[in-house]
Amino acid sequence: MVTQRSEPPKPMLRGRRMAAARPHFLALLLCVGLRGQQLSAALLNQRPVIGVLAQETGGDIIKFGNSYIAASYVKFLESAGARVVPIRVIKLTVAEYKELFHSISGVLFPGGDITVQESRYSEISAIFYNLALQVKDKGIYFPVWGTCLGFEELTALTSGEDLLTITNTSNHALPLNFTDDVFHSRMFKNFPKDLLQSLQTKPLTGNYHNWSISRKNFTNNEKLKNFYRILSTNMDSQQIEFVSTMEAYRYPIYAVQWHPERSPYEWKSTKEIPHFSEAIEVSWYLADFFVNEARKNFHHFSNRAEEAKALIYNYSPVYTGNISNFEQIYLID
C-alpha cells in the first residue's frame, strides 16, 4: 500500500493567495462593521419619551395652580433629543401611574422643596423607583435620574430612612471632588478629559439645597453602600463632606445633588448659577448620557394619539423669573 505524501503549501504561493484575498477580506470586515453599527442603531429607541415628576406649588407661584414642573428640566431633556411627559401628582391612581410607567422610556425626579417622606412626591417616586427595579430584574432597562431633591429622595427610597443632614449649601457653585470610581462610571465615561479636569478645578456645579447625605451617613448605611457607587463628594463651610454624585451598581439609576439643568436655562441674578462654557458642556453631556440610557427602553403608548395627549406640548410655559427661582414653569394641575 502506497501512502501518498501531502505536499506542504509553498510559502510564496500562500502569500500571493492571501494578498489577493486581502481586499475582499477587508471589504467583508468593513461590511460587517457597518452592519453592526446599523444593528446597534436598530436596537435603540429613536423616539424616547421621559417622564418628569411634577410637584405641588408653593410661595408666590401657588396662585397659578396646584402643581408645576420647572421648564429647565424639560429643556434639559429636549436638548438631547427626548420628549417629555409630565407625571401629575394629583388625581391619578396607582394603576394609572403603572400604566404611565409602561408608556415612557425613563423618569426624572427634579429638585424642589418637598419632604422625602410622607409627601405625594415621595409616594409617586416610590412607585416608579420600585417598578424600575422590578423590570430591570426581568431584563428590561428603565433609567431613573434624580436631581437635588430627586437625589435625596433616591437615598430615602433605597435606605428606607431619612438620613439627610443640614448643610450650608443653599447657594454655592462648587468644583467636584471625584472618587476613583468616576473612572469606572457609566455617567462620566464619555466626558472629554479636559472637561473632567474643569469639573475638578472650576465651580461648575450649582448647589441650592439645605439638606445633604453626608459621606459618613452614606458609608454607615449598608443598603446605600451596596447599592450606589459614589462618584463625587463636596465639603460645605462647616467641613461636612457630602455625596454630590452617585450611580447604582446594578441598575440604571443616577443622581446629582447639584443642578446641571440650570446653567443653560436659569438666570436668577441672586443665585450663583455657573454660566461658564464648560458648565453648559457638562449640562449637555449629562443630558445626552441620560437620554441615550432612555433609548435602551422600548416602552410606548398604546397609540400615537394617546402619546400626543400626554406630552408636555399640551401645556404652556409661564414666565415666573420675576417671582421665583425659575425663568419659566409648566403648570400641570
CATH topology of domain 51-331: Rossmann fold (3.40.50)
Q: Which of 148, 172, 209, 299 is flagged as catalytic? A: 148
**Matching residue, cell 414653569:** 329
* Count of beta carbons in the 10 Å neighbourhood of residue 136: 18
Could you tell me if 91 and 333 are in contact, meaning their C-beta atoms sit under 8 angstroms apart? yes
Q: What is the CA radius of gyration of the chain?
A: 25
Global pTM reads 0.87
Tens place of pLDDT per residue across the chain (333 aa):
434 444 444 433 333 333 344 334 333 333 444 344 444 666 899 999 999 999 988 888 888 888 999 999 999 999 999 999 999 998 899 999 999 999 999 999 999 988 999 899 999 999 999 999 999 999 999 999 999 999 999 999 999 999 999 999 999 999 999 999 998 999 999 999 999 999 999 999 999 999 999 999 999 999 999 999 999 999 999 999 999 999 999 999 999 999 999 999 999 999 999 999 999 999 999 999 999 999 999 999 999 999 999 999 999 999 999 999 999 999 998
Query: 42-77 b/e with 16+ CB inside 10 Å = b?
Result: eeebeebbbbbbbbbbeeebeeeebbbbbbbbbbbb
Give me the residue spans of the domains in the chain.
Answer: 51-331
184 in catalytic set: no
The values of phi and psi at residue 12, to 5°, are -65, -40
Q: Which of 172, 209, 259, 299 is flagged as catalytic? A: 259
- Using N-to-C axis directions, what is the helix angle for 94-101 and 120-137, rounded to 10°? 50
Q: Which three cell numbers stand for residue 234?
A: 463636596
31 in catalytic set: no
* Residue 307 CB partners (closer than 8 Å, separation 6+): 49, 103, 300, 301
